[in-house]
Structure 1
């Protein structure tokens, strides 16, 4: 049973409070329009608890407006800070109270009551009267509904517990809107424990104050309580009239929880007075309200699920785009960007195990001649063939990339302590290219070979590349179709456990 008038001046922004006033006045299109204007703005300079309170109270507004995905999103964002530490501020109490209301709305009733009780505890420690009053109103109102929904013999102690909270709230409240909400809920608790005269006076005063301010929420609740009082006294005809007014006002302000409760009570009164037509109409309104609540929630959750699906899809597209940016479209190997992104992790992993990183730099010999003689399409096919040969001669955890043009890089993964692994892999690659049958790709054109430079050492990618490039230069100078190593294995002996 949520009223939700202004909480703490200066903490809940004025436009948000105006949305709530419009809601309670039954001016739903205006409330929706104003809500659209304020929902994206969080006041600057607020601390995290005030921000959390603003977000969760906006979630309550979105919930009442039937905008369930937005309500869930705002609630989740506002809830984030609650797990970090035990809060003691008024804004934290407000946040918890609003979350309790939302949990009640989605059917998590145990968690809702726990959250509402915790909000009262925090509000008592925070020392802000209006915050405490609002938390007490939410808790007391929720207990009233629990009592009204449950078995009749279990209701009086629950109503009495609610009465205590609401009376406490009336003793500390300053805000007049919240006073009306507390009075309406308090009068229902009084009726629930049999204090009908005081309940009637309190409800009548709530009605008077609510009519003066066009508070349709207060008018709806006051009519409900007066109907309950008349029902308990046996004045069923008056009770039927008052209950019907309560239902009409609840419909007017689009408050599904009030409509469900009030229409059931109207059906009960109609049944007692012998009005089957009125009873059936009231039950239809109750069923329709329940269906609306379920449909709205299901639709909202469906929209939230669809938004989640789209978000996952967008992330996958972003990952795919990132992978595409790191992949050479001709050969399917990693490109230069992909190598530069992946190399630091591979080098760090290798070094953390005390292993020696190896880089193999491969350059196709006389590739310009291949292009000139056989054409660029055949040259591209030759590069794809070389890429396949590189994959075949390397392990799955080696990083194989096309660096640029006809130049390839292999960064070996964990090669253990085998100080010959880099040159050995390089020689396998050279031999595979040299012995490959190129006739299907290049016909009678001169077959390509590769020159390879190899380097090792606990270094960064650019340092390894520079060393391998020096070795590759020597391989080119010394006749091509060969492997050269830089630095020599002897110079690396102390790095791999040798003498």
Structure 2
């Protein structure tokens, strides 16, 4: 029984849309809502922005514009994942979201969100918003009590009445008070206080008629119908229930229409009014179909949003992968090496092992490009990349550093891991059949520098570079190993 009515702090255009809805002026409400949603909420407090977006989602929901309602709700909900503290706008946003959760059938989440909205509103010290949240919680508890087993219902009605009584002491807005009064009268009826319930409902109905508020009229007539039924006056009860259904239809409130039409059908059945019962059941079925279609629409949109999100995630992963991958060889590029190396080095150090860095440079590669062409040179680099992957383990990090230079980072299982792998790489390149790639052009070889030491990429690279320079200077097509790095001397 959560009444979709905002506190006085809501933006005037949104408030006017809601007033038109509650007066049953749906075409006018739709036209004004189009103008409202064409303007974005002002930047500023994120909670206020969230409250405005979810309030608008409620309006879209009641207008039957389900995809727009879900879109606005999702956008507004994104700010509700962090601590709300004592922000009154946060309480308002949570209350509005609970209304939508209730509408799509997520009742447990709805009641939890309503309780949270009351807690936040209470901490905020904002009396009007607290009254608003209490009305939402009390009204929803009324519906829970109606559906509850007979032995449980009185306690739930009592809790609802306590919320609504407190709300009535706080609320000053006229329409908000009407919502509280209507819900409170239902709680009283559920607690067995029929005379008091009738008194409050009658007062609510008179004030609602004066204000042109069909939402409050619907609730008041519904409560009065229940009182008349309990007094064994089915004719009066049927008349009042029919008025409640008519008002619920006028304001396009599906949840109220579903509840009220079922009660009307039951009254007609008791009076053997088969025509009236059938008409009421048709309304109930139509309302139920609307709820089902709403859920289907929501599920369809949720699936589509998930599909788009998954596609976007895949594109993001692909873009990230492309940024760290060398397009020619398929190996990690320099950025990929710099991102992945710290993880491998930390893992190696945690196992008590010493990492090795193998720096590979292709000998006389400029001559290969000059004699065979750049296409053949690119093919040769791809062949070398394949050989590197073949001679290394799956968890070793193999990268193209730049041009004709490659890097292999090893976890170091044994004291001679680096030199052993380096020699395998050199021999594989030296023994490879290059005829298909380069024809009769001089086959390439590689010079390799190897270093072991601390788990720091820059120190390992610097030491391996010294060894590589030595391998080049001493005739190429060879492996040179730099002595272990003394970290203390380097950092000192």
- Determine helix, strand or coil for the equivalent of 2:428: helix
Partner residue, 1:370: 368
Task: Tell me the CA shift for residue 327 of structure 1.
Answer: 1.6
The CA deviation string for residues 39-96 of structure 1, in whole angstroms up to 9 with x for no partner, is x5266247x6x666556555544544534533652574354235x8xx5665565455
Partner residue, 2:453: 457
Count of residue pairs the alignment pairs up: 483
TM-score of the superposed pair, with normalisation by structure 2: 0.85
Aligned mate of 1:356, from 351, 354, 357 = 354
Aligned mate of 1:205, from 203, 214, 220 = 203
Aligned mate of 1:415, from 402, 412, 415 = 412
2:395 matches 1:397:
yes
The CA deviation string for residues 117-169 of structure 1, in whole angstroms up to 9 with x for no partner, is 56556655655433343233223322332344456787566545544443343
- Determine helix, strand or coil for the equivalent of 2:480: strand
- Determine helix, strand or coil for the equivalent of 1:266: helix
2:469 matches 1:479:
no
Partner residue, 1:329: 327
CA contact (8 A) 2:447 2:476 kept: yes
Partner residue, 1:279: 277
Task: Tell me the CA shift for residue 323 of structure 1.
Answer: 0.7
Partner residue, 2:186: 188
Partner residue, 2:262: 264
- Determine helix, strand or coil for the equivalent of 2:398: strand
The CA deviation string for residues 297-356 of structure 1, in whole angstroms up to 9 with x for no partner, is 232133113212221221111111211222222221112222222223323333444433
CA contact (8 A) 1:220 1:247 kept: yes
The structure-2 alpha-carbon separation of the partners of 1:106 and 1:430, relative to structure 1 and needing over 3 Å to count, comes to: same
Matches within 5 A, 1:224-373: 224-373=222-371
C-alpha distance in 2 between matches for 1:314 and 1:133: 42
Task: Tell me the CA shift for residue 388 of structure 1.
Answer: 1.2
CA contact (8 A) 2:354 2:455 kept: no
Specify every segment of 5 or more residues in structure 2 that has no aligned partner in the other structure, as ranges.
none
2:2 matches 1:2:
yes
Task: Tell me the CA shift for residue 35 of structure 1.
Answer: 5.1
C-alpha distance in 1 between matches for 2:443 and 2:269: 98
C-alpha distance in 2 between matches for 1:150 and 1:31: 39
Task: Tell me the CA shift for residue 181 of structure 1.
Answer: 0.5
- Determine helix, strand or coil for the equivalent of 1:315: helix
Report the RMSD for the aligned CA atoms in angstroms: 3.4
The structure-2 alpha-carbon separation of the partners of 1:338 and 1:219, relative to structure 1 and needing over 3 Å to count, comes to: same
TM-score of the superposed pair, with normalisation by structure 1: 0.84
Partner residue, 2:34: 33
2:418 matches 1:430:
no
C-alpha distance in 2 between matches for 1:224 and 1:345: 67
Partner residue, 2:81: 80
Range with greater deviation from structure 2 (298-307 or 110-119): 110-119
Task: Tell me the CA shift for residue 375 of structure 1.
Answer: 3.5
CA contact (8 A) 2:73 2:97 kept: no
CA contact (8 A) 1:140 1:185 kept: yes
C-alpha distance in 2 between matches for 1:63 and 1:449: 71
C-alpha distance in 2 between matches for 1:407 and 1:90: 61
The CA deviation string for residues 390-446 of structure 1, in whole angstroms up to 9 with x for no partner, is 11111222111122232222122x20451x322222222111111122233333322
C-alpha distance in 2 between matches for 1:164 and 1:336: 67
Task: Tell me the CA shift for residue 479 of structure 1.
Answer: 1.8
Task: Tell me the CA shift for residue 258 of structure 1.
Answer: 0.3
Aligned mate of 1:467, from 463, 466, 478 = 463
- Determine helix, strand or coil for the equivalent of 1:403: strand
CA contact (8 A) 1:59 1:74 kept: no
- Determine helix, strand or coil for the equivalent of 1:332: coil
Partner residue, 2:71: 70
Task: Tell me the CA shift for residue 179 of structure 1.
Answer: 0.6
Range with greater deviation from structure 2 (164-173 or 178-187): 164-173
C-alpha distance in 2 between matches for 1:170 and 1:459: 68
- Determine helix, strand or coil for the equivalent of 1:297: helix
